[in-house]
C-alpha cells in the first residue's frame, strides 16, 4: 500500500465523520436519543482518530538524526496506538455509561423522524468512506482476505480506517435498532440498550487494534513474500554461495531493515567481494523497494573436508559452522 493511498482513505474518513458528528449532535438535541448521543461521540472519536493519523504521518517524515538514526517512521505506529487506546476506549466507555444512564432513567424520545433521517444520511456517508478505504486496501492486499490483510499489513492507517468504518456502520445499525424498538414498544430503555451495544462494539474494536498496533511498535519482520524476494535476489547474485541467516525489521511502515550473513568463496579477492556486496544490495532494493537499510556481512563457509573433521558435531551444526572472513 502506498502512503498516498492511506492518506486518501484517512482524509475521506475525516470529512465523512466530521459532517456526521455535527448532524448527530443536532439530532440528539432535538430527539434526546441516547443512542444518537453515543453515535455522535463515536463520530467525534473517529474524526479525532483521523486527525491523529494525519499528524503522525507528517511527523514520521522527519529526517534521521544522531538520536534516531533509523528515522521517525514508527511514529505512525505510536499515533495509531494512541487512537486505539485513548479515543476508542473513551468513546466506548462513554457509550456504556450513557446506555446505563438511559436504562436507569428512561426519557421519552421526541421527533424520532429526525434521528432516522440523520442515521440514514450517516449510513450513506460512512459507506462512501468505507468504499474508499476498501478500494485502497485492494491495491495491496492481493489474495489475502480482509481479516488477513488487517493482521498482516505493516501500514497502520488503513486497518484503523477500515475497522473504524466497519464499526461505524455496525454502530448505526445498532442505533437504528435501539430507536426502533423504543418506538415500537414504547419503552425508552431500548434506546439505552442500543447505546450499550455501541459501546461494547467500540471496546472490542479498541482491544483488537491495540494488540495489532502493539505488535508493530515492538517491531515486526518483513512479510513472507518480501523475505522470499530478498533471498531470491541474493541467491541470483554471482559470488554469493549461500545465505547463512537473515533478519528483517520494519523501522517504519515504508522502511525495512535487512541484515544478512552471506557465504562467499574463501579465495574471493576483497576487490571482487566489494563489487559482489554492492550488486547484491542493488538487487535487494530492486526486489523490495522498501528495503532502505541493508547490511550484508560476508562469511567464509568451511570447506567440506574441514567440516568432516568435526565429527563430534551434529550434522545441522556442522553445516552452520563458519569462520569470520
Rounded Cα distance, 23 and 133, in Å: 23
Ordered by where they begin, the domains of the chain are: 3-218 (1.20.1510.10), 224-324 (3.30.70.1350)
Rounded Cα distance, 84 and 90, in Å: 10
Rounded Cα distance, 60 and 119, in Å: 36
Give the per-residue pLDDT at 114.
Answer: 84
Residues with Cβ < 8 Å from 267, sequence gap 6 or more? none
Rounded Cα distance, 259 and 147, in Å: 30
All cell numbers assigned to 308: 568432516
Give the per-residue pLDDT at 266.
Answer: 85
Say how many C-beta atoms besides its own lie within 10 A of residue 203's C-beta.
17
Rounded Cα distance, 80 and 302, in Å: 48
Q: Which residues pair with 145 in a beta bridge?
A: none
pLDDT digit of tens for each residue in the chain (325 aa)?
A: 445 556 777 887 788 888 888 888 888 888 887 777 877 887 887 788 788 888 888 888 888 888 888 888 888 888 888 887 776 777 788 788 878 888 888 877 778 888 888 888 888 888 888 888 888 778 777 777 777 887 788 888 778 888 888 888 888 888 889 889 988 888 888 988 988 988 888 888 888 888 888 888 888 889 888 999 999 999 999 999 989 999 999 988 889 999 999 999 888 888 899 999 999 999 999 999 999 999 999 988 654 334 444 444 444 333 333 334 3
Rounded Cα distance, 205 and 84, in Å: 8
Tens of pLDDT, residues 171-218: 888 888 988 998 888 888 898 898 898 888 888 888 888 888 888 888
pTM for this entry: 0.71
C-alpha distances (whole Å) from 232 to each of 75, 145, 252 are 31, 26, 23
Rounded Cα distance, 221 and 290, in Å: 12
Amino acid at each position: 500500500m502506498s502512503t498516498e493511498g492511506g492518506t486518501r482513505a484517512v482524509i475521506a474518513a475525516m470529512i465523512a465523520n466530521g459532517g456526521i458528528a455535527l448532524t448527530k449532535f443536532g439530532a440528539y438535541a432535538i430527539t434526546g436519543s441516547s443512542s444518537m448521543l453515543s453515535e455522535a461521540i463515536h463520530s467525534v472519536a473517529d474524526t479525532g482518530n483521523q486527525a491523529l493519523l494525519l499528524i503522525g504521518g507528517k511527523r514520521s517524515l522527519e529526517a534521521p538524526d544522531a538520536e534516531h538514526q533509523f528515522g521517525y517512521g514508527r511514529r505512525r505506529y505510536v499515533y495509531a496506538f494512541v487512537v486505539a487506546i485513548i479515543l476508542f476506549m473513551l468513546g466506548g466507555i462513554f457509550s456504556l455509561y450513557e446506555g446505563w444512564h438511559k436504562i436507569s432513567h428512561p426519557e421519552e424520545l421526541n421527533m424520532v423522524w429526525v434521528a432516522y433521517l440523520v442515521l440514514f444520511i450517516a449510513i450513506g456517508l460512512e459507506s462512501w468512506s468505507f468504499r474508499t478505504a476498501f478500494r485502497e486496501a485492494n491495491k495491496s492486499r492481493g489474495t489475502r482476505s480482509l481479516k488477513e490483510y488487517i493482521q498482516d499489513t505493516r501500514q497502520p492507517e488503513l486497518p484503523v480506517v477500515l475497522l473504524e468504518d466497519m464499526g461505524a456502520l455496525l454502530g448505526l445499525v445498532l442505533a437504528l435498532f435501539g430507536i426502533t424498538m423504543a418506538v415500537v414498544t414504547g419503552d425508552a430503555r431500548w434506546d439505552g440498550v442500543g447505546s450499550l451495544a455501541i459501546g461494547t462494539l467500540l471496546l472490542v474494536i479498541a482491544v483488537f487494534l491495540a494488540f495489532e498496533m502493539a505488535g508493530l511498535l515492538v517491531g515486526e519482520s518483513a512479510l513472507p513474500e518480501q523475505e522470499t524476494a530478498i533471498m531470491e535476489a541474493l541467491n541470483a547474485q554471482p559470488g554469493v554461495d549461500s545465505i547463512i541467516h537473515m533478519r528483517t525489521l520494519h523501522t517504519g511502515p515504508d522502511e525495512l531493515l535487512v541484515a544478512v550473513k552471506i557465504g562467499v568463496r574463501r579465495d574471493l579477492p576483497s576487490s571482487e567481494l566489494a563489487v559482489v556486496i554492492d550488486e547484491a544490495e542493488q538487487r535487494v532494493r530492486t526486489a523490495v523497494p522498501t528495503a532502505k537499510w541493508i547490511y550484508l556481512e560476508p562469511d567464509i563457509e568451511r570447506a567440506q573436508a574441514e567440516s568432516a573433521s568435526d565429527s563430534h558435531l551434529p550434522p545441522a551444526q556442522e553445516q552452520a559452522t563458519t569462520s569470520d572472513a
